[in-house]
Amino acid sequence: MESDNRTATITETATSVNGHPATEDTVRYYSRFSVQQRFLHGSLAATFLGLAMTGLTLRFSSSGWATGLAQAVGGFGTVLFFHLFSAVVLTGAFLMHVANLVYRIVARREYSLLWGPTSMVPNLKDIRDFIAQIKWFFFRGPKPKFGRYAYWDKVDYWAVFWGMGIIGLSGFAMWFAPFFAKFIPGSWLNIALLIHGEEAILAVGFIFSIHFFNTHLRPESFPMDLVIFTGRMDENEFKHRHPEEYRQLLESGELEKRRVEPPPQWLKNFGWTFGGVAIAVGFVFLALMIVAFVQE
Amino acid sequence: MKWSTAIAFSIALAFNALGASAAKSAECLACHDDKGASFQASVHGSLSCADCHTDKKAYPHAANPAKVKCDTCHADPAGGVASSVHASVSEQVCQGCHGEVHGILSSKDPKSGTYAANLPRTCGKCHGDSKLTKEHGLTEVYSKYMDSIHGFALTRDGLLVAASCSSCHGSHKILSKKDAASRTNRANIAATCGTCHAGPQQDYLAGIHGQGTSTGNARAPVCTDCHTTHQIASVRTAAWQMKTTATCGGCHERQSDTYRDTFHAQVSALGYIETAHCWDCHGFHDIRPATDPKSTIARANLPATCAKCHSGVTASFVSYQPHADRHDRRAYPALWSSWIFMNLLLAGVLGFFAIHAVFWLNRSLAERRQIRAGGPASE
C-alpha cells in the first residue's frame, strides 16, 4: 500500500510540476515561501541579471561582444550606470533581508532561525544528508529525508550571502575609492577589483549552472521549480522533497496552518515567464563568459 | 656728374639692354611662337631665350641644340638635387617638380606646382602612384598625408604654415632617412618637427625619451614613433587617444599588460576616453622617471596627478598600484595571495558541484527509468 502510494506520488509530482492541472482540484497546497521571500528572490534574480550583464561587460571589456554591447547601449557610462543602479537595489534588498532577520530574532525571539530543523544554519543532519545523498548517487542507500532546507539549498543561500558581502563591499570600496582610502591603503583597491571580479565570475558560474541545475533543471524539477514564484507546494511534492519537515509539521499538528489555496493560473504564468527568461538569459551570459574567459 | 644725370643714364642703359633682349627673343619667337606666351608669364619671363640656350646666339643655329643646364644659374638647388635621392630619376629632374621648363612659375605663385598648397599633389604625381612607389620599394604616402592633420590643414583649410612635403624632407637636397645628414633621419627628427613645434620639442628633449635619443639610445622613441610620419592625426580626437595605450605598449609591454588588469584599462576598452590612459599619469612629451622630482609620478606629485580625475585624494589613496601584477608574488604578495585564493575557491566550488551534479543527474535519470519501467522508487 505504502509503496503504491509513493509511486503515485512521484508520477503526480511530475505531472503537476509540468503544469498539467489533472489533479489540481483534489490536491492540497501548503505555503513554503512568504510573499516577502518571493520578492527577495525576484529582486535578487532581476538585479543579479543586470549586474551580471553589465559586470561581465566590464570585466571582459576587451572581448568583442563586450565592446559591441557597450556601444549598443550608449557606451561605458550607461553600462556603469546600470551596474551601480542594480547594485543599489540589490544592496537595499539584502539589507532589508538582514534587518528582517535581526528583527525576527531579536524582537520576536524566533530562535529557530538560528538553529534547528527550519534554520538556514548548517547542522549535523546536513552532513549526514550529504553523505547519504552521495551513497544514493551510487545506489548504496535510500534517498535522505530532507528537512525544510536541503544541504544544497543552504549552500545556495550562504554562497549568495557571502558573495553579496564580498562583492558588495569591494564594489562600494571602488565606487567611493577616495573615501574608503581614508580607512584602507589604496593598494587594497587593487585587491578589491581582483576579488570583485573573481567572486563575480564564481557567482555567475555558480548561479547559472549549479543553482539552475540543483533547483530547476534536474530531472525531478525540469524544466523549472515554480515554488519560489508561487510560494506554495502541493502535498505530494512536499512529502517527497521535504519529508522530514512534512513529518514534523504533521506530528505537531502545524501542517493545517500552512494549508493554502492552489496557486492561481496568472501566478504560475508569471513564474514560468520570469523564471524562463531568467534561465535563458543566464545561459546566454554563462556562454558569453566562457567564451571571453577562454579568449583571455 | 650730377646724381640725376647718373640715374637717367642707368635707366637708359637698362632699357637698352631690355630692348635688345626683347628684340632677340622676338626673333626666336618668329619660329618658336608656341613657347612664347607661357614663357613671358613665367618666372624667367624677363630673360631672353639665349640666356639659357647659350649655344644659339645667332640664326641659323645648329639643329641639335645642347641641353639647357639649370645649374648655370641655380647652382645651389641643382647641386642639392644631384646629391639627393632624386639624382638618378631623370636627366630633366628639375622639370619633374617645377613643371614645363618654359612655364616655370615662382613657388610663391599659387598656380605653381611648388606653391606650398600644391606641393603635395606635385610630389604625389610619383609618391601617390602605387605602381611607381612599389617599383622603387617605397610606400604610397600621398593619400596618407592628405588624410593627416597636416594635409587637412594645408589643402582643406589653406594654412600655408602647415607642414607640406618640403617642410620635413627639404626641397632639393632630399636624402634617404638612412642618411645621417637627412632631416628625416631618426637623430634629426626632433629638430625637424621642432622647426614648427618648438614647445613639444623642448618638452621632449627634457623628458626621458628625448634624453635617450640625445645620448644615442637607439630604442628611445622620436616624434614619429608615436605620432607616425605621413598620417599624423590630431591628438585631440578620441580615436587617436584610444590608440595611444597600444602605441606606448609597443615598447612598454609589461606596463601595458599590468595596466590591462586595472579598472582604468577595463573601462577604456569600452570606449571610455575619460579614464586614465598612459599620458594622463605620465604626461607625454616630457615623460620623466618616478625618480625625477619633476615627474608626474614622483611620490610627492602623485596626489596632484591622481587629483586630475579623482576628488578627495589622500596620501593613502595614491598607494593604489596602477600597474599591479597579480602574477608577481614578490612585488605584490597580498594581491598574489588573493588571486591564488580566489582561483582555488572558484575551481574548488564549481568543480565540486559540477561533479555533484553529474552524479545526481545520472542517479535521477536511473530512478526515472525505474519508475517508467513500473518498479518502485528507491527512497
Strand partners, A25: none
Kindly state whether residue B239 falls inside one of the protein's structural domains: yes
Kindly state whether residue B171 falls inside one of the protein's structural domains: no
Show me where the domains of chain A are located.
32-291
Residues B356, B287 share a domain: no
Partner-chain contact B310 A66, CB within 8 Å: no
A22 and B CB contact within 8 Å: no
Helix, strand or coil, per DSSP, at residue B217: coil
Residues B316, B250 share a domain: yes
Kindly state whether residue B309 falls inside one of the protein's structural domains: yes
Partner-chain contact A191 B377, CB within 8 Å: no
- ipTM score for this prediction: 0.88
Residues B241, B313 share a domain: yes
**Which amino acid would we find at residue B373?**
A
* Chain A residues within 8 A of B359 when measuring between CB atoms: 134, 137-138
A81 and B CB contact within 8 Å: no
A102 and B CB contact within 8 Å: no
Shortest distance between the Cα of B374 and any Cα of chain A, in A, equals 9
- Per-residue pLDDT, B17: 47
Residues B366, B318 share a domain: no
A178 and B CB contact within 8 Å: yes
Nearest to B310 among A177, A195, A199 (CB): A177
Residues B308, B260 share a domain: yes
Distance, CA of B21 to CA of B48 (rounded, Å): 5
Question: DSSP letters of B328-375?
Answer: -TTT-HHHHHHHHHHHHHHHHHHHHHHHHHHHHHHHHHHHHHHHHTTP
Partner-chain contact A190 B262, CB within 8 Å: yes
B371 and A CB contact within 8 Å: yes
Residues B346, B313 share a domain: no
Kindly state whether residue B273 falls inside one of the protein's structural domains: yes
Number of domains in chain B: 2
Partner-chain contact A219 B362, CB within 8 Å: no
Distance, CA of A71 to CA of A79 (rounded, Å): 10
Domain containing B269 equals: 235-324
CATH superfamily, with its number, for domain A32-291: Transmembrane di-heme cytochromes, Chain C (1.20.950.20)
Partner-chain contact B260 A77, CB within 8 Å: no
Kindly state whether residue B223 falls inside one of the protein's structural domains: no
Q: Cell 638612412, residue? A: B178
Tell me which chain B residue has its CA closest to the CA of residue A215: B357
Nearest to A10 among B270, B335, B377 (CB): B377
Q: How many CA atoms lie within 13 A of A84 on its CB side?
A: 11
Nearest to B271 among A76, A189, A190 (CB): A76
**pLDDT tens digit at each of 379 positions of chain B:** 456 655 655 554 454 444 444 546 777 888 887 777 788 889 998 888 888 888 777 777 777 667 788 888 998 888 888 889 998 877 678 888 998 888 999 999 999 999 999 999 999 999 999 999 999 899 999 999 999 999 999 999 999 999 999 999 999 999 999 999 999 999 999 999 999 999 999 999 999 999 999 998 989 999 999 999 999 999 998 889 999 999 999 999 999 999 998 999 999 999 899 999 999 999 999 999 999 999 999 999 999 999 999 998 998 999 999 999 999 999 999 999 999 999 999 999 999 999 999 999 999 999 999 888 876 654 4
Distance, CA of A258 to CA of A227 (rounded, Å): 14
Q: Who has greater pLDDT, A259 or B35?
A: A259
- Per-residue pLDDT, B377: 55
Distance, CA of A50 to CA of A57 (rounded, Å): 11
Residues B305, B367 share a domain: no
Tell me which chain A residue has its CA closest to the CA of residue B270: A67
Residues contacting B159, CB < 8 A, separation 6+: B153
